[in-house]
Amino acid sequence: MKHNLLLWTGMIWLFCLFVSTPCMAHRVNLFAWLEGDTVFTESFFSDGTKSIDSRIDVFDPEGEILLTGKTDDNGRFSFKIPEKTDLTIVLNASMGHRVEYILSAGEMTGIKSSLDDKGSKQSAEIKEGKSGVSDEK
């Protein structure tokens, strides 16, 4: 009797183990790339659903917010580079989903910008120099 009970309990556990469906996290993804002096982003969930009307914040290395926006119906958002420095792009999607993407200043090599490092208007081109990134005026 005791063996039958143990056998049935084991069979029920095995049944539950194989019948249960795997749980997949509903993760949000954020990709960013440069075209000229514009940063383009695209965001979507792990199941392919676009992250629509989600808040995007762009921060400088000190954590100061540079700009804020929202994704469109295709999960996309674009903006002109506000500063030639490392940028942290943060997507806040629905139900607490959050992801960060860091766009380094080094990736901005070769782009033209209407801002210098202090944020004043000036035509500048970022070039790769022998000792790093330099502005040529």
Q: What is the pLDDT of residue 120?
A: 36
Domains of the chain: 28-107 (2.60.40.1930)
Which of 47, 34, 29, 20 is closest to 84 using CA atoms? 34
Q: What is the pLDDT of residue 11?
A: 73
Q: What is the pLDDT of residue 96?
A: 85
Judge whether 128 and 136 are in contact, CB under 8 Å.
no
pLDDT, tens digit, 9 for 90 and up, residues 64-110? 999 999 999 999 999 999 988 999 999 999 888 999 999 998 888 76
How much is the pTM?
A: 0.62
Measured distance between the N- and C-terminal CA atoms of the chain, rounded to whole angstroms? 90
Residue corresponding to tokens 């910008």: 113
Count CB atoms within 10 A of the CB of residue 117: 14
User: Residue 42 above 90 pLDDT?
Assistant: yes
Which of 99, 97, 43 is closest to 73 using CA atoms? 43
